[in-house]
Amino acid sequence: MQFWQDKRVLVTGGKGFLGSYVVARLKELGCGNIFVPESKNYDLVNMEAVKRVYKDSKPSFVIHLAARVGGIGANRADPSGFFYDNLMMGTQLMEEGRKLGVEKFVVLGTICSYPKFAPLPFKEKDLWNGYPEETNAPYGLAKKIHLVQAMAYRQQYGFNAIFLLPVNLYGPGDNFDSETSHVIPAVIKKCFDAIKEKRDEIIAWGTGEPTREFLYVKDCAEAILLATEKYNKPDPVNIGAGFEISIKDLVGMIAAETGFKGKILWDASKPDGQPRRMLDTSKARAEFGFIADTPLKEGLKKTVEWYKNTYL
């Protein structure tokens, strides 16, 4: 806890899903100087807003979590927006932080940066061995450019920037908007909507055959702060739970947890996305001692309970 007591920390995206957990954990660790910019006051795509956020926060550490994110449908609908907004936020924040002599800059990447057919489990060394899955490529590549920037700035300026690669997150407080949500919140909402409307079926995207890995959001927040405290190397680090589950099995688990007993129909005209996803998490364990604590079944139960208490 002593590590955080004298730190001034700028957490972009600190009011978002993951960011709110990071801020809460920082407070638990005794950090008393946390600056959380709201997007309505600081449009970090704009350089003038970036300069203003540094002037107002005067941070020693920056944890850059702000991002434009969404599921396959949202990425397909606006690939240019996902590329440009994410690229500009991170690039400008890091450049201005470098100029101002920020002590440490933490960048959150994405599993979408990995090649479409990377061998499982995804190892950090495989990050450049192919093009990302097409529906997420603009977003994934925009984020991966920040790894190049971080490594270049470390080489040229000695700037301490680290790059973390989390898997898909889920948990209480997730985005349940039907247009932009990821698979877990989307299916939870579909199940409860069907129960409420007395429908005996739901429609899920794709074939259900792809596999994914999911990390409970509170575990991810812990990993980010462990890395911020202990990791100071140029190489990217995977942040995950180290398992894979098929979308078909996942949807079945969610249906059971919500109490939906109807049919699950698969719309194969919708894209599956990347065929398989699972991270090798050995580096995070070795470098800063992170091991995910929350089993998927337990995390789903907590997420479903939160949704019921919040929306129903």
Structural domains in the chain, sorted by start: 2-171+214-243+276-294 (3.40.50.720)
CA angle centred on 123, ends 169 and 127, rounded to 5°? 85
Task: Work out the pLDDT band at 70, boundaries 50, 70, 90.
Answer: confident
Residue 299 pLDDT class (50, 70, 90 cuts): very high
Annotated active-site positions, please? 139
- Does the structure show a pLDDT above 80 at 128? yes
With 0-12 / 13-18 / 19 or more C-beta atoms within 10 angstroms meaning exposed / middle / buried, residue 231 is buried
| 3 state SS of 214 | strand
pLDDT at 20 over 80: yes
Check residue 175 and give its pLDDT.
94
What residue type is 47 in one-letter code? M
- 61: pLDDT confidence band, cut at 50, 70 and 90? very high
The residues, any chain, with a CB within 8 Å of residue 142's CB and separated by 6 or more, are 82, 83, 84, 86, 87, 90
What pLDDT score does 71 carry?
Answer: 83
* Average pLDDT of the chain to the nearest whole number: 96
pLDDT value at position 179? Answer: 84
pLDDT value of position 147: 98
